[in-house]
Structure 1
Amino acid sequence: MIRRMGRPGLLGLAARTAVVAGTANAVSGSMQRAQAQRDAQQQQAALYQADQQAAAMQAAAAHAAAQAQYAAPAAPAPTAAAPALDIVGELQKLAALRDAGVLDAAEFSAAKAKLLG
């Protein structure tokens, strides 16, 4: 076969065009997949952040409710037998709130001191 010098033939031109088009298609597909992955990660991060904000709001509401419950003015002292049972029950409630993470150690100590007089 005789080799031609100069411009490529029709077959060579078609082959070069196919290679360029295939490369462009592969790069484009790769870029689209990477963009879709970035979008999915951003959406996942936004959902995680929304979940964290909702959990923080629920914790704040529970904390405020616990503080409001123990910030109420003290009722007059009942009879001698009733306060011991009341105090024990209230201390158990406070301990449960502390264990659940609603009250921190300082708030628990303050509420306990208020309860014990």
Structure 2
Amino acid sequence: MDWSDLLGDVAADVLRKGDGERERLVDAARAEALPGERPLAMTAARGKDDFLKGVLLLTSARLLYLKEGRPAVSVPLPGVVDAALSSTRLSGKVLKVTALTGAHRWEGLENAEEFTKHLHAAIASADRAQPLATDTAPAVLSAPAPTPDHAPAAELLDLLERLAALRTAGALDEAEFAAAKRKLLGT
């Protein structure tokens, strides 16, 4: 899947953007792309403080919210601890994403169920991904690479403190905090 194909379709069909605006959107997404990052799925959505829709872009590495005139919101997939889709009369389909970077909410998603399936698959894939070896020397018996399941104590403590701060700030409720903590502790 190509950046311009994916973005062009959503820009034309959902956001009702013309050719010039579509090209600016494609350029903005390419400028945000990391080396080796691939687009997986995209939909239109509103951020919690937005009146008009922006683009919610799922890539192989992260979830990006692109809105004209605003900095991109980036949520790395390995840091996502929960993603839930709900529906309200006022806001339509609502996607809530709880991550180590904070809690995020997008409303009025187009093709919400399909996008959420792609998101859950990408999160599961990011959880299974292992870091690449940096050298070709034979492996020595050692502890596994740091992951949320095997993070060093200092790293784990830092992540737990971030979660507690999100709960204290009201970004996470008790159930979301408990689920995120269980995922970090591997229980």
Classify the TM-score, shorter chain: 0.3 to 0.5
TM-score w.r.t. the length of structure 2 is 0.25
Q: RCO (CA 8 Å, sep 6+): is it higher in 1 or 2?
A: 1
TM-score w.r.t. the length of structure 1 is 0.37
Quick check: which has more Rg, 1 or 2? 1
Normalized per residue, the structure richer in helix is 1
Normalized per residue, the structure richer in strand is 2
